[in-house]
Amino acid sequence: MTLYEHLPADIRSMVDSLVAELTPYSWPGRFLALIGLLGEKLEARTEPEPWHMIQQWAGLATAVLEQLQPDSSVVECVGLMSISFNDQWRAQALGQIERDLTVLDRLLAICPDWDDIVESVLEANRRRPIRARRGRGR
């Protein structure tokens, strides 16, 4: 079952709108639009800590990836896969980034704040884990 299928109807509707808007574009354009959405959400937030908002954005990005089919040959898509809630995509993307250091260089050239975004997603998960910790030392 996909994350999209688990989302409440109003959030699925938002994802559907994003997918409809992003479908005509290639992954580089989709990436920039999703990064722009994160910036807009963070600027409009009223709560002092951004962690919940960042998790919501990562969830939206994951659900969009599910609907638009990720492409691991495109660096921008690899970046989104690396911060997604899909364990398989994340592992695939991180492995690709570790094997080819130019991937990270290209992501930073496209989005200089990429390191900060990744760190924010990791910090959000540390502060509010998505999955309940189950006695397996995760």
Give the phi and the psi of residue 28 in degrees, each rounded to 5: -60, -45
Does 129 score more than 80 pLDDT? no
pLDDT at position 134 over 80 = no
Q: In 10 A of CB 22, how many CB atoms?
A: 18
Looking at residue 47, what is its pLDDT?
85
**Stated pTM of the model:** 0.88
pLDDT average, residue stretch 38-43: 93
Q: Name the E strands within the chain.
A: none
Position 137 scores a pLDDT of 43
pLDDT category of residue 72 using cuts at 50, 70 and 90: very high
For the chain, give the percent of residues with pLDDT over 90: 82
pLDDT in tens, 3-32: 999 999 999 999 999 999 999 999 999 999
User: How high does pLDDT run on average in the chain?
Assistant: 91
Contacts 24+ apart (CB under 8 A), 81-85: 82/118, 83/58, 83/117, 83/118, 83/121, 84/58, 85/3, 85/58, 85/59, 85/130
